[in-house]
Amino acid sequence: MTDAPLIDQLGRVHTNLRLSVTDRCNIRCFYCMPDENVRFKPRHELLTFEEIERFVHVAAGLGVNKLRLTGGEPLVRADLPKLVARLAAIEGIRDIALTTNGILLAAQVQALKDAGLTRVNISLDTLSEETFRRISRRDGLDRVLEGIHAAKRVGFTKIRLNAVAIKGITEPEVGPLTQFARDHGMEMRFIEFMPLDAEEHWQHDQVLGGEEIRRLIEEAIGPLEPAERPDPSQPATDFNFADGRGSVGFINPVTQPFCEDCNRLRLTAEGQIRNCLFSTVEWDARAVLRGGGSDDELARLIRDCVWAKKPGHGIDSADFVRPQRAMYQIGG
């Protein structure tokens, strides 16, 4: 039986948990990681599959029913399908999604689906090898595309392609990426560039806003119409093409924050609970998990974290404090 809802001081009920399984990655996208000399957490500091499973079991008892596995790049964590199977077996968990850069996806996608993975989001910032290398500072676009096609081939019907929108880079990519998604029956999503890059080069004028991207899409392809919003907590504002072929979503945390309906909390790879992507405070679940703490203590820690959640991230406010962690250390 589910306990009282996992609620914060503004009445937001939290049912969505993002689980980072590693801070490691096989590319070095500048909006997420440093290029060289990355200091990853030692393996013994990361939560084991058993610890993640226990945390999710407790969270599910508090009403969490949707999970998203992130990183770093989650597919560099060995035996990830085994974790998916463990999580899929937990009572109350209805949906398990994966966010991946796609490079290792082709080899693992069938096992992931068989284990119970429900949905997959694949990062695809460009269809140009040159631009891919500029953003990721590594090669690999061909493997990403191979992973995308493999996900469709094994039967995933909910495939989203995510592109980070960066002014001066993304504009020429918008039309081709959106058309690619339309042609392959997938949803394209554009995510505004956020101040979570490890090298701290983010500037507000680098943000390519969702409204501008929408205009570029309509110029390149055709008119868009607002889509229904069945889940008010979803981060994306969705549009359907007027010709009935496909949809596109815009995640605009900088120009159009959606904090008032947020229902998400996060667990980092080494077991720190965060109530916001931009939180500067963390709650140490690993200490409870490894210190002999009870499930009740773990549940109380989760509740305390959610209860302390602020009204919003405040990126545009004068008192905004950038998190010390970069995206790869938090979980996308």
Q: Considering the domain boundaries, does residue 169 fall inside one? A: yes
The Cα–Cα gap between 120 and 246 comes to: 17
Mean pLDDT (whole number) for 27-36: 85
List pLDDT tens digits, range 50-105: 999 999 999 999 999 999 999 999 999 999 999 999 999 999 999 999 999 999 99
Phi then psi dihedrals of residue 261, to 5 deg: -115, 15
Nearest to 259 by CA among 14, 31, 61, 20: 14
Q: Considering the domain boundaries, does residue 198 fall inside one? A: yes
Structural domains counted in the chain: 1
Q: Considering the domain boundaries, does residue 70 fall inside one? A: yes
The Cα–Cα gap between 245 and 280 comes to: 42
List pLDDT tens digits, range 300-332: 999 999 999 988 766 665 666 666 677 777 876
Mean pLDDT (whole number) for 272-301: 94
Q: Considering the domain boundaries, does residue 160 fall inside one? A: yes
The set of residues, in sequence order, having a beta carbon less than 8 Å from that of 295 and lying 6+ positions away, is: 54, 57, 58, 61
The Cα–Cα gap between 155 and 32 comes to: 30
Q: Percent of the chain beyond pLDDT 70?
A: 89
Task: State the CATH number of the domain containing residue 27.
Answer: 3.20.20.70
How does residue 158 score in pLDDT terms, banded at 50, 70 and 90? Answer: confident
pLDDT value of residue 152: 97
pTM recorded for the entire structure: 0.91
Mean pLDDT (whole number) for 164-171: 89
The set of residues, in sequence order, having a beta carbon less than 8 Å from that of 309 and lying 6+ positions away, is: 8, 9, 10, 12, 262, 275, 276
Q: Percent of the chain beyond pLDDT 90?
A: 70
List pLDDT tens digits, range 219-250: 999 999 999 877 777 777 899 999 999 999 99
Mean pLDDT (whole number) for 143-169: 95
More confident residue, 245 or 199: 245
How does residue 295 score in pLDDT terms, banded at 50, 70 and 90? Answer: very high
Q: Considering the domain boundaries, does residue 2 fall inside one? A: no
pLDDT value of residue 30: 84
Three-class secondary structure of residue 160 per DSSP:
strand
Q: Considering the domain boundaries, does residue 3 fall inside one? A: no
Mean pLDDT (whole number) for 209-222: 92
Mean pLDDT (whole number) for 25-46: 89
CA distances from 143 to 122, 138, 180 (A): 12, 12, 16
In the predicted model, is pLDDT for residue 111 greater than 60? yes
Q: Considering the domain boundaries, does residue 5 fall inside one? A: no
In the predicted model, is pLDDT for residue 8 greater than 80? yes
Mean pLDDT (whole number) for 33-38: 83
Report the chain's C-alpha Rg in angstroms: 19
pLDDT value of residue 113: 98
Phi then psi dihedrals of residue 239, to 5 deg: -135, 145
Q: Considering the domain boundaries, does residue 4 fall inside one? A: no
How does residue 1 score in pLDDT terms, banded at 50, 70 and 90? Answer: very low
Average pLDDT, rounded, for the chain: 90
Q: Which domain holds residue 181?
A: 16-330
Mean pLDDT (whole number) for 256-281: 87
In the predicted model, is pLDDT for residue 43 greater than 70? yes
How does residue 258 score in pLDDT terms, banded at 50, 70 and 90? Answer: low
Torsion of CA 246, 251, 256, 261, to 10 degrees: 100
Question: In the chain, which ranges are E strands?
Answer: 16-20, 66-70, 95-100, 119-123, 159-165, 187-192, 224-226, 237-241, 247-251, 264-267, 272-274, 283-284
Phi then psi dihedrals of residue 127, to 5 deg: -105, 5
In the predicted model, is pLDDT for residue 199 greater than 50? yes
